[in-house]
Amino acid sequence: MNIEIYTTPTCIWCKTAKEYFDSKGIEYKEYDVTEDNEKALEMVEKSGQRGVPVIDIDGNIIIGFDKEAIEELITEFIEDE
Amino acid sequence: MYDCIIVGKGPAGLSAALYLGRDGYKVLVVGLGSMLEKAEVVENYLGIFAISGTELLQISKKQVTNVGVEIKEEKVLNIYNKNEEFNVVTNIGEYKSKCIILALGSKKGNAKIKNAEKFVGKAISYCVSCDGFFYKDKNVGVIGSSEHAVEEAIKLKNYTDNVTIYTNGKDMKVTDKYIDYLKNFNVDNRKIEHLDGEDELSHIVFSEDDKIKIDGVFIANDTPNIDDLSNNLGILTEKNKVVIDENNMTNVKAVFACGDMINDFKQVSTAVGSGAAAGNSCIKYLINSNLSEKVKKL
Ligand SMILES: Cc1cc2nc3c(=O)[nH]c(=O)nc-3n(C[C@H](O)[C@H](O)[C@H](O)COP(=O)(O)OP(=O)(O)OC[C@H]3O[C@@H](n4cnc5c(N)ncnc54)[C@H](O)[C@@H]3O)c2cc1C
């Protein structure tokens, strides 16, 4: 499972999302879009919008910290294992 | 520094305050009126045959101030967490505490603006701290007419100098604290007809077909609701209710919730019950985490 999170430093939901994955021991890559312009454009392209966080789980795009949507995708992954 | 600040002075907040106050904690209740003021007569609160909502609140407030609790009639604009302390920013002042009890009642929003929901994330946002960065040096607006709109506009100044407050036909209503800040912003009082754009928001359209081009808009409810306050605290909600554990604690440590904001059955009795539970859990939290001056002195 490949997880990428697009964040800004002042966004509490980005922190909550990272803590969520940390608590489950799931690894992810984080891109701070305020530092990385290319990734900022990529995020807008992928999600079609400009709200953070954007979470990409194996190409499935989740906008905001939508716990239910994340859990659904992760459960599938855990079941597949 | 307060032991606990309770936001909301309806039956839930006052009930929590009663428990903390009776145990000698330093407590501040801060909030605007309660929904209960609208109840002409309450006939289903055990032990009282019939009473008006206003009278029930008056007695409750007296009971709570009698045990040393302070009550302030102020609007909470922001709550943030710094060095294990909470800072509660209101339209009048700023207060610090070790824990927070939220008793905000059911969620309220602004009057709806046509197409606002359609463009969320597409140049419309409710959270400057999250998405402000995307509007660097752009022409942005805040829709709102209270201190909350000014707070959001101030945050936006970190990203761009081009910030206008759109009041949607209202007059700005702010306390003295905000009058000087307000001078830094353009204020447009026209009534908004709808928001317009193709894929993304591009224009605010006013009555009389007048319109202006805009790069982004932030919406600021006149009284911040739980979603607004969560943008700094990160409190999880599910199906419009705040998620709590068996101790009425939210996912954020030392922040508790009670009353209509957590209950399916929204009544005075359930609000009072969950307020008592939150107050009691807060006391236990203060003792167990060694934050209680009272216990330290023993
Ligand atoms: C017309 C009417 C009749 C009713 N009749 C009955 C009845 O007969 N029996 C019964 O049991 N129940 C009745 N209810 C329901 C009852 O009023 C509520 O269930 C109860 O008031 C909930 O209490 P609460 O403390 O959770 O919220 P509320 O009483 O709504 O209090 C919430 C508090 O939070 C404040 N607040 C919210 N956001 C902020 C902010 N950002 N800053 C500052 N303050 C904030 C509000 O201003 C308010 O003070 C009635 C309600 C209405 C409207």
Cβ <8 Å between B121 and A52: no
Rounded (10°) CA dihedral B156, B162, B167, B172: 80
Question: Domains of chain A (ranges plus CATH)?
Answer: 3-80 (3.40.30.10)
DSSP state of B191: P
Instruction: Please tell me the distance from the alpha carbon of residue B8 to that of residue B10, in angstroms, as a whole number.
Output: 6
CATH class of the structural domain B117-219: alpha beta
Measure B148 CA to ligand 1 centroid, in angstroms: 21
Contact residues of ligand 1, CB 6 A cut-off: B 7-13, 31-36, 38-39, 42, 44, 75-76, 103-105, 223-224, 259-260, 266-269, 271
CATH class of the structural domain B2-108+225-296: alpha beta
- Give the residue extent of every domain in chain B: 2-108+225-296, 117-219
Among candidate residues B279, B293, B237, the one with its CA nearest the CA of residue B8 = B279
Distances (CA, A) of A56 to A20, A65, B200, B231: 15, 12, 22, 22
- Do B282 and B262 contact (CB within 8 A), yes or no? no
Q: Looking at ligand 1, which atom is closest to the CA of residue B104?
A: 34
Q: Give tens-digit pLDDT for B256-282.
A: 999 999 999 999 999 999 999 999 999
* Among B129, B199, B230, beta carbon nearest to A10: B129
Q: Is the pLDDT of residue B295 over 70?
A: no
The answer to whether the complex's ipTM is over 0.85 is no
Q: Is the pLDDT of residue B232 over 90?
A: no
Name every residue whose Cβ is closer than 8 Å to that of residue B208 and which is 6 or more positions away in sequence: none
| B125–A contact, CB cutoff 8 A | yes
Distances (CA, A) of B280 to B11, B230, B243, B286: 15, 23, 18, 10
| A14–B contact, CB cutoff 8 A | yes
Which pTM was predicted? 0.91
Q: Which residues of B touch A33 (CB under 8 A)?
A: 133
- Do B203 and B214 contact (CB within 8 A), yes or no? yes
Cβ <8 Å between A50 and B199: no
pLDDT band at A81; cut points 50, 70, 90: low
Write down the pLDDT at residue B297: 66
Rounded (10°) CA dihedral B143, B149, B155, B160: 40
Q: Give tens-digit pLDDT for A12-27.
A: 999 999 999 999 999 9
Q: Is the pLDDT of residue B28 over 90?
A: yes
Domains B2-108+225-296 and B117-219 share a fold: yes
Identify the weakest region by mean pLDDT among B7-16, B29-38, B50-59, B103-112. Answer: B103-112
Identify the weakest region by mean pLDDT among A17-21, A34-38, B74-78, B110-114. Answer: B110-114
> In chain A, whose CA is at the least distance from the CA of B130?
A11
Rounded (10°) CA dihedral B54, B55, B59, B64: 0
